Amino acid sequence: MLKLFLPDQHVKSVFEIKPEDLKERGVKGIITDLDNTLVEWDRPDATPKLIEWFENMQQHNIQVTIVSNNVEKRVRLFSDPLGIPFIYKARKPMGRAFKKAIRNMDVNRNEIVVIGDQLMTDVLGGNRMKLYTILVVPVAQTDGFFTKFNRQMERRILTWMKKKGMINWEE
């Protein structure tokens, strides 16, 4: 059961995820979280470096869809200026939004990666859908109310996984 919380890969930020590496794995699509994965949860716009990352993915024909548990206004204001498709109020880790993103991108499951900063939503949701999951270190050290609870649970799970030798990275 706890293996569902184990990401396939762990990186410090999305900027360590290179399109060349994804193409080698046969990846054609990315489902990514927004808040504290791409930008701080309270930052309204993409940074120039993130815009460059999106453009780099697009140049390599890798589709990106933002799947967020946040409300439409937040996700739309971030995504629309970039022309990036999005799904809001995703209810991750439930599978509906992941399935919709896969359908919209029209790629096979084995050609998709899920990127996110939370075990309880992004990694669990991606793993339940049998997708390749990449956990990133949260961009900000602060969180919204519900995320704070998730982080406490994550720390317990990560501690247990470290004791069992399931992970070897530093938090």
CATH number for the domain that contains residue 14: 3.40.50.1000
| Inside any domain, residue 168 | no
The structure tokens 């054609």 sit at 28
Peptide bond into 85 cis (omega under 30): no
Name the band, by pLDDT with cuts 50, 70 and 90, for residue 13: very high
Query: Into how many domains does the chain fold?
Result: 1
To 5 degrees, how large is the angle CA 89–CA 133–CA 112? Answer: 80
Does the structure show a pLDDT above 80 at 156? no
Within a domain: 169: no
Measuring CA to CA, how many Å separate 128 from each of 98, 106, 122, 135? 10, 19, 10, 15
Range of the domain at 80: 2-163
The answer to whether position 170 is within a domain reads no
Q: What's the rounded Cα separation, in Å, for the pair 35 and 75?
A: 9
pLDDT at position 98 is 98
> Distances in Å between the alpha carbon of 53 and those of 4, 47, 96?
28, 10, 27
pLDDT at 32 exceeding the cut of 70 = yes
Buried b (16+ CB within 10 A) or exposed e, 45-71: ebeeebeebbeebeeeebbbbbbbbbe
Domain contains 88: yes
Instruction: Point out the least confidently predicted range of 32-36, 61-65, 157-161.
Output: 157-161
Cα angle: 161, vertex 167, 171; to 5 degrees:
95
Query: What's the whole-number mean pLDDT along residues 22-35?
Result: 97
Report pLDDT for 145: 59
Residues pairing with 159 in the sheet: none
pLDDT at 169 over 70: no
In a domain, 7, yes or no: yes
Q: How far apart are the first and last CA of the chain?
A: 22
- pLDDT in the model for residue 16: 97
Report the mean per-residue pLDDT for the chain: 91
Under DSSP, the state recorded for 2 is G
- The pLDDT value recorded for residue 58 is 97
Overall average pLDDT of the 144-160 stretch: 69
Q: Is residue 171 a part of any domain in this protein?
A: no
